C-alpha cells in the first residue's frame, strides 16, 4: 500500500475521532475534512503518489497554496489540520513520526477583535419579544454574553447541564474538557421565559435549545437568528457568537477581572489566547497607569 493510500484509508477514522473523542465543533470537523482531502488530492499527481509523505511534501503543498493566493490564516489552519491528523496517525501506530511537527505556521497579522459596546448588547437583548423564536434568540444572546461560551458549547448544552437555581452551566469544551460557568440574573430570566415556550416535538430532545420540530439547534441556526436580531434593531456592525464571546471577556476585563479568571471562564489552555479575546482602549490604559504607577 502506498503512503497516500494509507492516509486515505485512515481519514474517515480520524474524522470520527474529531467528532467523538475531541468533541470538535461541526465547523472544525468540516474544515479539517476539507483541508485534508485537498492535501490528499494534491498528492494524487502521478509524480507524488509513491513519494514519501514528509516535511518536504507538506512544504510543497503550502507553496502550492501560496501560489493559488490562499491567505496566511487559511494556510495556517490547513497546516494545523495536517499536524493534528499526523499526530493521530502516530498515536495509532500508522506513522513513526509527525512530518508536520517541525514546520512553522505562517506569521499572522493580529487583528483587534470587533468591539461591541454594552449599549449594543442592551439593544440586542432587551427588545420586546413576542413569539417563541424571539424568546429563544434572547435567551441565546443572554447566555452567550453571560458566559462567554462557544457556539458549539451552547448548542451542545442539555437541559440537565443547566442549574437555573444556582445559575451554573456544565459545559463540555474542546478536548471533551468539562468546566462550570456561572451566568447572571438576566440570562436566568431569559432562559426561564424561553423554556415556557420551548418546542418539544414528537421525540423530545435533551437539548436546551431546540428548533421548531423539537430537535437540537444547529450552529448555523444560532448565527442566522443573531443576524436577524441585528437587522431588527438596525445595528451597524456584524454580530456573531464569537463577537459575544469577545465582548464577555473585554467587559469583564474593563470592570476589573483578572486575565487568569477570564481564561478559566473561557476554557482557554493558554493565557496568550485569552489576551487576544480582550480589548482595552487607550483611555482606560491611561487611567490604570495614573492610578497604579507610583510616579505617574
276 assigned to active site: no
229 assigned to active site: no
Annotated catalytic residue, options 167, 174, 216, 276: 174
242 assigned to active site: yes
Separation CA 185–CA 167 (nearest Å): 8
Annotated catalytic residue, options 198, 251, 268, 279: 268
Annotated catalytic residue, options 78, 198, 245, 251: 245
277 assigned to active site: yes
Q: Which residues are 149's β-sheet partners?
A: none
Name the phi and psi angles at 103, rounded to 5.
-80, 135
17 assigned to active site: no
* Residue entry with cell 503518489: 49
Cβ proximity of 190 and 198 under 8 Å = no
Annotated catalytic residue, options 78, 150, 198, 279: 150
Separation CA 53–CA 141 (nearest Å): 46
Which residue, among 115, 160, 169, 165, has the nearest Cα to 142 in the 3D structure? 169
268 assigned to active site: yes
Q: Which residues are 181's β-sheet partners?
A: 169
Catalytic center residues: 150, 174, 242, 245, 268, 277
Amino acid at each position: 500500500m502506498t503512503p497516500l493510500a494509507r492516509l486515505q484509508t485512515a481519514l474517515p477514522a480520524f474524522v470520527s475521532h474529531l467528532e467523538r473523542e475531541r468533541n470538535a465543533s461541526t465547523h472544525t470537523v468540516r474544515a479539517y475534512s476539507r483541508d485534508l482531502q485537498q492535501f490528499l488530492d494534491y498528492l494524487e499527481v502521478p509524480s507524488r503518489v509513491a513519494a514519501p509523505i514528509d516535511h518536504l511534501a507538506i512544504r510543497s503543498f503550502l507553496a502550492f497554496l501560496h501560489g493559488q493566493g490562499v491567505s496566511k490564516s487559511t494556510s495556517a489552519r490547513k497546516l494545523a489540520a495536517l499536524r493534528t491528523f499526523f499526530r493521530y496517525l502516530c498515536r495509532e501506530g500508522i506513522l513513526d513520526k509527525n512530518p508536520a511537527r517541525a514546520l512553522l505556521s505562517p506569521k499572522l497579522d493580529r487583528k483587534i477583535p470587533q468591539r461591541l459596546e454594552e449599549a449594543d448588547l442592551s439593544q440586542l437583548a432587551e427588545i420586546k419579544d413576542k413569539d417563541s423564536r424571539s424568546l429563544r434568540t434572547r435567551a441565546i444572546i443572554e447566555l452567550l454574553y453571560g458566559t462567554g461560551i462557544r457556539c458549539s458549547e451552547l448548542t451542545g448544552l442539555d437541559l440537565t447541564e443547566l442549574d437555573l437555581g444556582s445559575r451554573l452551566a456544565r459545559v463540555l469544551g474542546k478536548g471533551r474538557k468539562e468546566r462550570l460557568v456561572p451566568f447572571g440574573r438576566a440570562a436566568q430570566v431569559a432562559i426561564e421565559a424561553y423554556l415556557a415556550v420551548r418546542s418539544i416535538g414528537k421525540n423530545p430532545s435533551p437539548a436546551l435549545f431546540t428548533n421548531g420540530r423539537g430537535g437540537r439547534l444547529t450552529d448555523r441556526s444560532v448565527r442566522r437568528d443573531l443576524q436577524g436580531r441585528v437587522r431588527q434593531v438596525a445595528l451597524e456592525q456584524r454580530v456573531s457568537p464569537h463577537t459575544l464571546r469577545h465582548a464577555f471577556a473585554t467587559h469583564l476585563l474593563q470592570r476589573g477581572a483578572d486575565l487568569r479568571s477570564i481564561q478559566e471562564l473561557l476554557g482557554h489552555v493558554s493565557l496568550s489566547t485569552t489576551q487576544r479575546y480582550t480589548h482595552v482602549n487607550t483611555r482606560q490604559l491611561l487611567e490604570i497607569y495614573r492610578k497604579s504607577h507610583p510616579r505617574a
